Chain A
Amino acid sequence: MTSKILLRIGVTIGILALIFLGVWLIWFKPTNELEVFNNLTQLQLYKIENFNTVEDNASSRTKMFLSDGKEDNARTYSFDGGNFANNGNVKDLSIQIKNYRAYMFSEFDTYGSYFFTDIVNNLNSKVATLIQENIGFDVIYGVMDNAFDYYYSYAQLAEHVSNKDVKNMNNKISTLKSSYNDFQTTYNEIVNLEKQLDDFNNYTIISEITSLYKNLYLNYFDIIKDFNTLIVNLKDFVNQYVFDGKLTLDKNVVVYDMLLNSVAEFVKEDPTLTLKSGTNKYIANNNINNSEQVNEDDNNFSKFLYDITTITLVYTYNCTENHLEQNSLKIDKEIEYYSILANEYKEALYGENNIFQLNRSEKFGLVDNDFENNESNEIKSMYKVEYVDMLRTLVNKFYQILETDLIFGGNN
């Protein structure tokens, strides 16, 4: 009898313990507060393996080398390389490859400058060179990487994290990993095909390579998009769990915000705009200096790319070179304005009509101080009168729309 009672008590306790354990596992199990940080660390390693590029130490951007690892091989695809015979079709393809590489790796040379003719022609030569060397997905990616590193360092201090936010971060990490993987797969295919390329007049292989470069370009664009999404979410995560939702605006935060917001608008743009047949029409006429034949969409995308990479230049001068005393790219005043706006008129920076969503023509409209210009006045009327001057200053500085001599403070 006693043993039966004891057995019943034992079984009851066991069942209750199992129930409590289940409840705890489901609702009360503490999250591992380092989980997000650890996954981000893994992402860093994954990135090195699968975004298989070589760092350019001078500017911490990434460049791709071709199959034999020599950067000069990039010129194999140019007219001047002397590797092409009279096969006009192969030339057309090589120009397309050059086009993609230019957008991805800032490989703009005399040939590539036609994309920005109407902008670059108005700049002095030093500025033009600087812009052309800093336009490309690699440059945007490089500065975003710095923004990522900044917030990543704080992620390991996160406390009392919620399962939901951990899951969200893990999703964003997975998405980016997948984009890196896609890029690496395409890159490996290009490398393999190039190994088979004994004769540069081999239209078939070069045609396949060209098609792969198009995919690589689209993959890179996706990386920019997914990386930006991850960093924005990471910033929110750090703000919530390290700074208790009260992350204040220091210089880094302001500059990163402007960068990330600008990239967020940039990636809404259709990257295939550069791939329209207008480009081929231009090539078919074999007249690379005739800018009238440049496709309008091509040029708009190029201008948009010019804008976003100008921001990266501003970032470079302000976040990586400190204690600047004399430099026209210094943005102390603009950071002050940004801080004021973030406190007093948030909508101008983060709302529906925020300055980052303005298209190029609208940006000109905001910056233009011509009071008789109806279009400009219409844009300005989107914002509160007392803050228009601040917004003009921000947009002007970050997009350098009017002050083309800003970088060197004059014509050099």
Chain B
Amino acid sequence: MKKLYSLILLPLIAVFMLVGCGETTRTVKEVQDLYNTMVETYNTQESYTLGNWYFQKTSVAETETQKYLKMYVTYDNSNKLNDATYVSLSEDEEGAPDMGADYSPSDELKTRYEQLTTIYARTLTMAFNYYTNWSETFFSRIDAVDSEEKEITNLYGKLNELKRELESFNTAKLNIEREVQLFGLDSEIVASSLDVFNYNYNALLEKVLNFVNYFRDLHVKYYFSNNSVINSAYAQRVYDDGLLTIANYIYYDYLKALTTNGTTKLVKLTDTSNKFDIFNYGSNNLTKFAKVVDGRVKGVTGISNIKSKLDIEGESVDKTNATNTVKLVEVALNTFKQYFGIYTKVFDKVNMESFNNYRFKTSGGYDDFDAYASTLSPVQKANVNIMIDMEENKIYDFMSSLSNLIK
């Protein structure tokens, strides 16, 4: 009889233990504590008035350090990595990036520095911006809404993954800083460390997007899903969601797409012959959205003009026009997100190596689209057409629409 009981009981106990050992339920306070811990880890001893290596205050006047912190990468200044990244943004007389008189790095190094300071840096800041602007109100009110335990636990989990990834990233950053100090900005020895750093930057972006996307979904669910009043807060949310959406797209189409097996293929994304205007210097849309001051990303462009019109008391033509603008941008945002959802499904089906070869000539390229298309089955060709449509049409249309909020 005992044997019979043990035969029945043992599997039951095993099942209970399995269920019992699931993910620990987390509270809102634990999420906030984890975030504060992550931020405090990277405080420096130097007098960076605005914060630490990764999380920066909105302004010097901000006294509560954990509120409204932007995310961008700052380098140890002693090895001139910041100078390189700053200098790479200015141009010499012929319009080429000017690395300064003392340095003459190879084209590959120049391209790496340039892309890390423009595409990666701006995408990171734009991606985290939604959390920057809305975490304060989210956490101050979340106890008043009937949130699900599992959602807060998931949020904690994603933040924890971000924290861990930031640790790996920081290690890679320390390595690159050390090597630049030892060998100089233009040393080819630095190139392979930059490659690793680039790969870690990619991974960091992925975790930031996972975390902030989830946060955004919760924020909308609990605070904006039934909100029909178009005021300045509404407009701000739409705008921040727009920047996050663009960051998601850039990550997928240009960063993730070029990353395989631990390396990020180096492609000069700002090459105008590629027609990737969204990255180029000058007056293109990405520069409009990410605020770049002295070569460093200082946040995102504000929408104060339209917000002030939305906050006008009573009725007015300006207010009506502003309201309509926000409505239309929101439609454009939802439309783009819908197509982006399809795009991410298609992304996994496309042979990225040959697609990159077509659009960036990573292995010699193809004569034209027909030459590339002839290597594809009908289904593959259809998938590629969807990718190309996103790249050449939809992202531009969306960015153009979003830029109506910053006019």
Contact = CB atoms under 8 A, between A and B. Distances in A.
A252 B385 contact: no
B392 A157 contact: no
B383 A250 contact: no
A250 B336 CA distance: 8
Interface in A14-65: 34, 37-38, 41
A37 B379 contact: yes
A156 B378 CA distance: 9
Contact of B392 (A242, A247, A322): A322
Contact of B382 (A156, A248, A250): A156
A257 B331 CA distance: 17
A243 B385 contact: no
Contacts of A248: 331, 334-335, 338
B335 A336 contact: no
A71 interface: no
Given A157-B345, A323-B396, A34 B379 contact: yes
Contact of B385 (A41, A153, A250): A153
Given A154-B342, A336-B328, A250 B397 contact: yes
A323 B379 CA distance: 29
Contacts of B346: 157
Contacts of B339: 250
Nearest to B377: A41
Chain B interface mostly helix, strand, loop or mixed?
A: helix
A152 interface: yes
A211 to B, nearest CB: 39
Contact of A243 (B338, B389, B392, B396): B338
Nearest to B392: A322
A136 to B, nearest CB: 26
Interface string A235-262: 0000000110011111110000000000
A159 B356 CA distance: 28
A149 interface: yes
A220 B394 CA distance: 33
Interface residues of B, number: 24
Nearest to B387: A153
Contacts of A251: 393, 397
Nearest to B401: A332
Interface in B322-345: 328, 331-332, 334-336, 338-339, 342, 345
A37 B378 contact: yes
Nearest to A253: B335
A76 interface: no
A191 to B, nearest CB: 28
A157 B383 CA distance: 9
A198 B332 CA distance: 62
B87 interface: no
Nearest to B345: A157
Contacts of B393: 251-252, 322
B339 to A, nearest CB: 7
A291 B188 CA distance: 78
Contacts of A323: 277, 396
A150 B385 CA distance: 8
A246 B338 contact: yes
B344 to A, nearest CB: 12
Nearest to A250: B335
Contacts of B336: 250
A153 B382 contact: yes
A243 B343 CA distance: 12
A336 to B, nearest CB: 5
Interface string B8-35: 0000000000000000000000000000
B331 A339 contact: yes
A242 B277 contact: no
Contacts of B342: 154, 157, 242-243
Contacts of B386: 153-154
Contacts of A152: 382
Contacts of A339: 328, 331
A339 B396 CA distance: 18
B349 to A, nearest CB: 9
B274 to A, nearest CB: 14
A41 B385 CA distance: 14
Contact of B379 (A156, A250, A252, A343): A156
Contacts of A156: 378-379, 382-383
A343 B339 CA distance: 19
Nearest to A40: B378
Interface string A337-350: 00110010000000
B326 to A, nearest CB: 12
A339 B330 CA distance: 12
Nearest to A336: B328
Interface string A86-110: 0000000000000000000000000
Contacts of B397: 250-251
A7 to B, nearest CB: 40
Nearest to A343: B331
A40 to B, nearest CB: 9
Contacts of A343: 331
Contacts of B379: 34, 37, 156
A293 to B, nearest CB: 48
Nearest to B394: A250
A157 B349 CA distance: 11
Contacts of A250: 332, 335-336, 339, 394, 397
A107 B332 CA distance: 40
A242 B345 CA distance: 11
A150 B390 CA distance: 12
Nearest to B385: A153
Interface string B340-384: 001001100000000000000000000000000000001100110
A34 B377 CA distance: 13
A99 to B, nearest CB: 36
Interface of A: 34, 37-38, 41, 149-150, 152-157, 242-243, 246-252, 322-323, 336, 339-340, 343
Which 7 A-B pairs have CB atoms at the shortest separation, nearest pair first? A248-B335, A153-B385, A153-B382, A41-B378, A250-B335, A156-B382, A156-B379
10 contacts: A34-B379, A37-B382, A153-B382, A156-B379, A156-B382, A246-B338, A248-B334, A249-B331, A250-B335, A252-B389
Interface of B: 277, 328, 331-332, 334-336, 338-339, 342, 345-346, 378-379, 382-383, 385-386, 389, 392-394, 396-397
Given A247-B338, A250-B332, 8 more contacts: A153-B383, A153-B386, A154-B342, A156-B382, A243-B342, A249-B331, A250-B397, A252-B393
